[in-house]
């Protein structure tokens, strides 16, 4: 074998291995794309396709192409004889709970995280590990924990009663006010079912996320900025308003939007703590798809509308952010 | 920590799976299929093949009869010899082997319910017939129907016999192609059951009652006097923000209203009648502290004192009362709604005979009494046919019973659901 021959052989081998790795590189993205299509897009389009299906009374549903479900969402099934905004109301409550609970979580997590970043490294690590581990508790656990905390015989109402607070409220005449607000029965205060319990639990649910999302931004914040402001005579509230908040505005807005989207789909907390009059679209979707009703098309319609509304909100939030940025 | 709290935590873990852990929840209504012409041959087995099947598992005498049928149709000597040899084999060596291989997959609601069946009912059946039972866990009636619907389409079902609540059964028969008609002549013990518990569709009987349960009025005896009528629950001075009722439109509260204030089931005949029922339900809203969707919510709320009355399952209420919790089930003068579950045979199951034997066994008064004692379900046969004592009987049953308007709930499904949801939402 001549040198030239062996050289050309080496060259061929190199090209072959090149070719092989080249093929591997082309195939991988396609394989990943296929996985994404099968696992994400197909179910997604399936939901959209099912939302045009038709329910057969007293039985299941069939494939079809009808806009009846969408019409029902906005005006009810009896339209045009009768109009109901039941489903819009549920959508409204979905947004209401998610907005209030995510804002509440961010607003309380912000000062906490700020104080956290001022602790020693060791203390910070301990807190973060604790908060991260609390994420392993499922929604169900958290809801049931609060359920017990707010229960008549074992929770807050029992405390009210045993400390005489209930009697005091009755003597002062404020008990009637609580009853008017739906926070008391003739015997004692009660916190379930109420918007108070629903929003409280939902905030609690996402609070660790808020801390973890805000922590990187706040820990990177240069303390000398606030210190400089203080030496120039700014009060604490002025420092917070003019130095800290503006410098973390982006992570604040981002965190709120993320938690908001996360909370739109809350199911257990709403089922347990909210009055049926104030149930959300997520709960309605489940009751429709469940066997008791077998109306998957209408459930899918509600899911699609919830998704579209959430997307609109996110887009608006994004635009608002860009507008503020540009200003 | 009190006992109530401890249990609360346990329940908490179970909550999302309430259907599988709470047998009662699963009994809530659901759907149903009928069956298709494809399956007709299976439902009317040919006399000869039937003879052989029974012969193989039965006595030598039966086998001989079966063989005789065959020889009458195939007259040549060779087939006569072959059949004779088969009959001998089946009646001597073959019989025990074949008997051991007979089996049946039976579905029931997972958790306590299914466990009780596995522990108390299936072993007795296997002992009596030699048929092995493979227990299959159903989450409940309604979601199981969806599973069976898909499985039937795929041609391989997870269970031969399923347990469906009546409305699920009706729904299944309307969907069609899911259930095989049953041959009642092979299940003589079904004559013990009230005709109401055998569901007849146009193609034949599709379901035979397995057991029944009541949704009873319950109160906290430490807080209120036992009401004589459901109507007392509308009294705001006693029950303001204090009741626990089921949130589902088809969980029989409308039937209670129909029996208490209207003409019973007949009121469901018109949409105006249904709206009147729902309007009456709206009047009780200020008194309701909990609209429960999972059985465990109501259990917890009664234990915690969050509610002092409402509707709840009779057997669980009795169990709770026996454990010392502040709950007492009551039969008011209008009665309590009675629902029941049926055994239904999958349209593509080939275990027609085994299923028939099981249904026959289940319909026996002794089995009904056994289920009442061990599982807490109400018997479907007259009390006099069983050996249940008065105390045992009142633990699981009572009078009068309110029969739910199943057909109306299905015929006007969307209308009732939306009207009910509107009432709850005040929209």
CB contact under 8 A, B305 and A153: yes
Q: Does pLDDT of B357 surpass 90?
A: yes
Residues 296-315 of B with CB under 8 A from A: 297, 300-301, 303-306
Distance from CA of A53 to the nearest CA of B (A): 15
Residue B182 domain-assigned? yes
ipTM computed for the complex: 0.77
The answer to whether residues B129 and B205 belong to one domain is yes
The answer to whether residues B125 and B95 belong to one domain is no
Residue B241 domain-assigned? no
CB contact under 8 A, B305 and A152: yes
Kindly state the average pLDDT of the residues A73-97. 91
Per-residue pLDDT of B368-426, as tens digits, reads 999 999 888 899 998 889 999 998 898 889 888 999 999 899 889 889 999 999 999 88
% of chain B residues with pLDDT over 90: 48
Which residue, chain included where needed, has tokens 């579950």? B341
Number of structural domains chain B divides into = 2
Lowest-pLDDT range of B10-14, B131-135, B308-312: B10-14
Distance from CA of A88 to the nearest CA of B (A): 10
- Give buried/exposed letters for A212-245 (b at 16+ CB in 10 A, else e): bbbbebbeeeeeeebeebeeeebeeeebbeebbe
Provide the pLDDT for residue A183: 83
User: What is the C-alpha R_g of chain B?
Assistant: 24
Q: Does pLDDT of B107 surpass 70?
A: yes
Which residue, chain included where needed, has tokens 């959300």? A280
Nearest to A291 by CA among B152, B333, B390, B33: B33
Q: Does pLDDT of B105 surpass 50?
A: yes
Q: Return the bridge partners of B208, or none.
A: B198, B343
Maximum CA extent, chain B: 89
% of chain B residues with pLDDT over 70: 76
The answer to whether residues B139 and B69 belong to one domain is no
Encode A107-134 in three state secondary structure: HHHHHHHHHHHCCCHHHHHHHHHHHHHH
Q: Does pLDDT of B267 surpass 50?
A: yes
CB contact under 8 A, A86 and B421: yes
Residue B271 domain-assigned? no
The answer to whether residues B132 and B191 belong to one domain is yes
* Cα dihedral A187, A192, A197, A201 sign: positive
Residues 150-209 of B with CB under 8 A from A: 168, 170-171, 174-175
Query: Is the bond leading into B251 cis (omega within 30 degrees of zero)?
Result: no
Provide the pLDDT for residue B255: 95
Kindly state the average pLDDT of the residues A259-281. 91
Per-residue pLDDT of B27-60, as tens digits, reads 443 333 333 332 323 223 333 233 333 333 333 3
A1 pLDDT band, cuts 50/70/90, is low
Provide the pLDDT for residue A9: 66
Number of H helices, E strands in chain A: 17, 2
DSSP state at residue A55: E
CB contact under 8 A, A154 and B304: yes
- Judge residue A197's burial from the number of C-beta atoms within 10 Å of its C-beta, 0-12 exposed, 13-18 middle, 19 or more buried: buried
Q: Which two tokens stand for residue B332?
A: 């008011």
Residue B291 domain-assigned? no
Residue B295 domain-assigned? no
Q: Residue B373 sits in a domain of what CATH number?
A: 3.40.190.10
Please say whether the beta carbons of A261 and A94 come within 8 A.
no
- Contact list, A290 vs chain B (CB under 8 Å): 142-143
Full-model pTM = 0.74
Distance CA B38, CA B346 (A): 13
CB contact under 8 A, A186 and B4: no
Residue B36 domain-assigned? no
The answer to whether residues B121 and B88 belong to one domain is no
How many CB atoms within 10 Å of residue A315? 10
- Judge residue B245's burial from the number of C-beta atoms within 10 Å of its C-beta, 0-12 exposed, 13-18 middle, 19 or more buried: buried
Q: Return the bridge partners of A61, or none.
A: A55
Q: Which two tokens stand for residue B100?
A: 């051991």
| Closest by Cβ to B30, choosing from A151, A155, A292 | A292
Distance CA A287, CA A300 (A): 12
Phi, psi angles (nearest 5°) of residue A149: -60, -30
The answer to whether residues B84 and B108 belong to one domain is no
B12 pLDDT band, cuts 50/70/90, is very low
**Per-range mean pLDDT, top range of A12-16, A117-121, A149-153:** A117-121
Provide the pLDDT for residue A82: 85
The answer to whether residues B54 and B127 belong to one domain is no
Query: Is the bond leading into A200 cis (omega within 30 degrees of zero)?
Result: no
Give the end of a domain, one of B50, B66, B99: B99
Give the end of a domain, one of B53, B84, B99: B99
Q: Which two tokens stand for residue B203?
A: 């193609």
Please say whether the beta carbons of B329 and B218 come within 8 A.
yes
Provide the pLDDT for residue B133: 94
The answer to whether residues B138 and B170 belong to one domain is yes
| Closest by Cβ to A293, choosing from B16, B140, B417 | B417
Provide the pLDDT for residue B100: 53
The answer to whether residues B201 and B137 belong to one domain is yes
Lowest-pLDDT range of B84-93, B138-147, B208-217, B233-242: B84-93
Provide the pLDDT for residue B318: 87
* Cα dihedral B75, B78, B80, B82 sign: negative
Distance from CA of B16 to the nearest CA of A (A): 7
Q: How many CB pairs under 8 A join A and B?
A: 155
The answer to whether residues B95 and B109 belong to one domain is no
The answer to whether residues B53 and B147 belong to one domain is no
DSSP state at residue B214: E
Provide the pLDDT for residue A18: 59
Query: Is the bond leading into A193 cis (omega within 30 degrees of zero)?
Result: yes
Provide the pLDDT for residue B74: 41
Provide the pLDDT for residue B19: 37
Kindly state the average pLDDT of the residues A260-287. 91
Category of B418 on φ-ψ map: left (φ > 0), alpha (ψ -120 to 50) or beta: alpha
A159, A189, A274, A292: which to substitute to probe chain B, counting the most B Cβ within 10 Å? A292
Residue B407 domain-assigned? no
Distance from CA of A257 to the nearest CA of B (A): 27
Kindly state the average pLDDT of the residues B65-94. 46
Distance CA B115, CA B21 (A): 11
Residues 229-258 of B with CB under 8 A from A: 237, 240-242, 247-248, 250
Q: Is B145 on the interface with A (CB under 8 A)?
A: yes
Kindly state the average pLDDT of the residues A145-168. 86
Q: Which two tokens stand for residue A158?
A: 């029992």
Cα angle: A188, vertex A193, A199; to 5 degrees: 120
Provide the pLDDT for residue A88: 94
Per-residue pLDDT of B119-129, as tens digits, reads 999 999 999 99
B104 pLDDT band, cuts 50/70/90, is very high
Phi, psi angles (nearest 5°) of residue B312: -160, 165
The answer to whether residues B204 and B114 belong to one domain is yes
Provide the pLDDT for residue B33: 33
Q: Does pLDDT of B73 surpass 90?
A: no
Q: Is B28 on the interface with A (CB under 8 A)?
A: yes
Phi, psi angles (nearest 5°) of residue A298: -70, -35
Which residue, chain included where needed, has tokens 């092995």? B132
Residue B272 domain-assigned? no
* Parallel/antiparallel/unpaired status of strands B336-346 and B401-402: parallel
Distance CA A214, CA A210 (A): 6
Please say whether the beta carbons of A106 and A257 come within 8 A.
no
User: What is the C-alpha R_g of chain A?
Assistant: 28
Range of the domain at B56: 42-99
Residues sharing a CB contact under 8 Å with residue B309, sequence separation 6 or more, in sequence order: B217, B218, B219, B220, B224, B227, B233, B239, B242, B243, B244
CA A126 to mean position of chain CA atoms: 26
Helix (H, G, I), strand (E, B) or coil at B291: strand
């Amino acid at each position: 074998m001549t040198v030239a021959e062996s050289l050309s052989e080496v060259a061929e081998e190199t090209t072959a291995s090149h070719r092989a790795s080249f093929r591997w590189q082309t195939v991988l993205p396609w394989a990943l794309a296929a996985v994404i299509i099968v696992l994400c897009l197909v179910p997604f389009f399936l939901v959209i396709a099912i939302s045009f299906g038709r329910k057969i009374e007293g039985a299941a549903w069939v494939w079809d192409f009808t806009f009846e479900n969408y019409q029902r969402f906005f005006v009810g099934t009896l339209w045009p004889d009768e109009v109901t905004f039941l489903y819009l109301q549920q959508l409204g409550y979905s947004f209401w709970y998610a907005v209030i609970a995510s804002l509440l979580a961010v607003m309380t997590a912000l000062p906490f995280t700020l104080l956290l970043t001022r602790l020693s490294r060791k203390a910070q690590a301990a807190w973060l590990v604790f908060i991260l581990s609390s994420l392993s508790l499922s929604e169900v656990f958290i809801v049931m924990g609060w359920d017990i905390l707010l229960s008549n015989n074992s929770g807050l109402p029992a405390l009210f009663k045993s400390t005489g607070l209930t009697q005091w409220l009755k003597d002062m005449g404020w008990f009637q006010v609580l009853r008017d607000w739906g926070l008391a029965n003739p015997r004692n205060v009660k916190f379930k079912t109420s918007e108070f319990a629903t929003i409280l639990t939902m905030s609690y649910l996402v609070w660790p996320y808020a801390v973890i999302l805000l922590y990187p931004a706040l820990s990177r914040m240069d303390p000398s900025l606030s210190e400089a402001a203080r030496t120039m005579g700014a009060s604490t509230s002025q420092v917070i308003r003019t130095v800290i908040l503006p410098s973390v505005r982006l992570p604040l807005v981002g965190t709120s939007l993320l938690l908001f989207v996360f909370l739109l789909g809350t199911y257990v907390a709403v089922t347990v703590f909210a009055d049926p009059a104030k149930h959300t679209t997520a709960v309605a979707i489940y009751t429709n798809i469940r066997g008791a009703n077998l109306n998957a098309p209408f459930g899918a319609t509600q899911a699609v509308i919830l998704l579209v509304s959430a997307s609109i909100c996110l887009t608006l939030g994004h635009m608002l952010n860009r507008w503020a940025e540009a200003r | 920590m009190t006992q109530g709290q401890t249990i609360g935590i346990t329940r908490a873990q179970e909550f999302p799976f309430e259907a599988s852990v709470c047998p009662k929840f699963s009994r809530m209504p659901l759907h149903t299929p009928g069956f298709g012409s494809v399956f007709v041959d299976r439902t009317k087995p040919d006399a000869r093949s039937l003879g052989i099947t029974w012969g193989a598992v039965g006595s030598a005498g039966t086998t001989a009869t079966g063989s005789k049928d065959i020889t009458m149709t195939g007259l040549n000597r060779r087939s006569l010899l072959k059949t004779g040899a088969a009959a001998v084999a089946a009646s001597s060596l073959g019989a025990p082997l074949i008997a051991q291989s007979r089996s049946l997959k039976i579905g029931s609601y997972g958790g306590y319910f299914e466990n009780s069946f596995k522990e108390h009912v299936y072993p007795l059946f296997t002992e009596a017939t030699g048929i092995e039972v493979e227990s299959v866990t159903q989450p409940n009636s309604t979601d199981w129907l969806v599973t069976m619907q898909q499985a039937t389409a795929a041609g391989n079902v997870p269970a031969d016999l399923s347990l469906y609540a009546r409305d699920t059964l009706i729904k299944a028969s309307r969907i069609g192609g899911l259930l095989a008609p049953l041959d009642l002549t092979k299940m003589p013990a079904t004559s013990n059951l009230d005709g109401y518990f055998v569901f007849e569709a146009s193609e034949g009987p599709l379901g035979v009652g397995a057991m029944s349960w009541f949704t009873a009025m319950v109160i906290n005896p430490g807080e209120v006097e036992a009401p004589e009528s459901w109507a007392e629950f509308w009294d705001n001075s006693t029950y303001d923000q204090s009741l626990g009722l089921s949130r589902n439109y088809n969980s029989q509260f409308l039937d209670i209203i129909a029996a208490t204030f209207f003409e019973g089931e007949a009121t469901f005949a018109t949409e105006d009648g249904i709206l009147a029922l729902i309007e009456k339900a709206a009047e009780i809203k200020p008194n309701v502290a909990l609209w429960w969707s999972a059985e465990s919510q109501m259990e917890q709320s009664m234990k915690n004192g969050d509610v002092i009355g409402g509707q709840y399952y009779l057997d669980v209420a009795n169990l709770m009362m026996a454990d010392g919790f502040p709950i007492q089930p009551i039969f008011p003068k209008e009665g309590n709604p009675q629902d029941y579950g049926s055994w239904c045979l999958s349209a593509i199951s080939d275990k027609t005979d085994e299923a028939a034997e099981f249904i026959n066994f289940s319909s026996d008064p002794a089995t009904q009494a056994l289920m009442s004692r061990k599982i807490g379900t109400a018997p479907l046969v007259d009390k006099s046919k069983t050996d249940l004592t008065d105390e045992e009987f009142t633990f699981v049953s009572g009078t009068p019973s309110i029969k739910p308007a199943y057909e109306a709930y299905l015929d006007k499904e969307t209308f009732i659901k939306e009207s009910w949801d509107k009432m709850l939402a005040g929209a």
